[in-house]
Structure 1
């Protein structure tokens, strides 16, 4: 598996993988993928990667800004999505490991993630790379008319922001 930076020509495959995640009802409150322009505008510090093999892109991971306030310049929200047929094969972990390293090189001291409590594989994946549960936002939003909770996780860098 080759992990590399996202390129514009990757968008159709990235969008397809995102739509697969949306279809599960366990990955996001979104009900449709955004336009390329909207999606790419949320990428912080060029921190977006894809996992690619001979069959194409198998997953993607990006960091979005959590705020425009300067005090939060080193805090980002992680999204990671893996193609349906590649889930459970370590693709998500490889992507997260790369984005953690790259984010620290760019000065990020905290990464956050919000995951539905029913999405046990994603919770386990994030915890396996150092994220910890910091709380649960109860009934924070509705998806298809049903109130959903979100487990909030964070990963504090051991090399950035420790002074």
Structure 2
């Protein structure tokens, strides 16, 4: 029987009863809203214009609770963060590698939510058959780089000026964590 993730976690500072669970399609508007709110920062995502719920349906359905989950974190009765596992490079030889994407509502940042989600991703990855985790982070996104480094990720790659956001070229850092030597 397939079990989906649904954990009640201890409340963080100023947060009541947080819950991490597998996302359902009804969560997609909140997921898209959190994502779109990062676009103006120009250091978090390579999207230049807001995405729509409809444009993210295929992406949403590519996530499966048993192999490439998409989790949401609820606090105070609403979705305030999400983390997704995505297949890397789309070829069978990379099946045991996944890219993490994590986004937290601006009102809930610096409360340990991102750390909690990435730690949970690291802990659950072996159960999904994942041996290697990756994060693709703009070099200017220092909070994300620090978070991944503090959780054991190392800089595995640096791609200078590969993205153009606004009028500025951005460098991309590839962060990696090997979970198993097997």
TM norm structure 1? 0.90
Aligned length: 160
For structure 1, the residue ranges without an aligned partner over 5 or more in a row are none
Partner residue in 1 for 2:37: 20
Q: How does 1:1-163 map to 2 (within 5 A)?
A: 1-31=18-48, 32-34=50-52, 35-43=55-63, 45-157=67-179, 160=180, 162-163=181-182
Would the alpha carbon gap of residues 57 and 74 (structure 1) be closer, same or farther in structure 2, given more than 3 Å must change?
same
CA distance in structure 1 between the partners assigned to 2:122 and 2:88 by the alignment: 16
For structure 2, the residue ranges without an aligned partner over 5 or more in a row are 1-17
Mapped contact 2:68–2:86 kept (Cα < 8 A): no
- Please, what is the CA RMSD of the aligned residues? 1.6
SS at 1:152's partner residue? strand
CA distance in structure 1 between the partners assigned to 2:109 and 2:141 by the alignment: 13
For CA contacts below 8 A with separation 6 or more, give which structure has more relative contact order: 1
The worse-fitting range, judged by mean Cα deviation, of 27-36 and 15-24 is 27-36
CA distance in structure 1 between the partners assigned to 2:151 and 2:97 by the alignment: 17
Mapped contact 1:47–1:102 kept (Cα < 8 A): no
Would the alpha carbon gap of residues 57 and 117 (structure 1) be closer, same or farther in structure 2, given more than 3 Å must change?
same
- Superposed displacement of residue 74, structure 1: 0.5
SS at 1:60's partner residue? strand
TM norm structure 2? 0.82
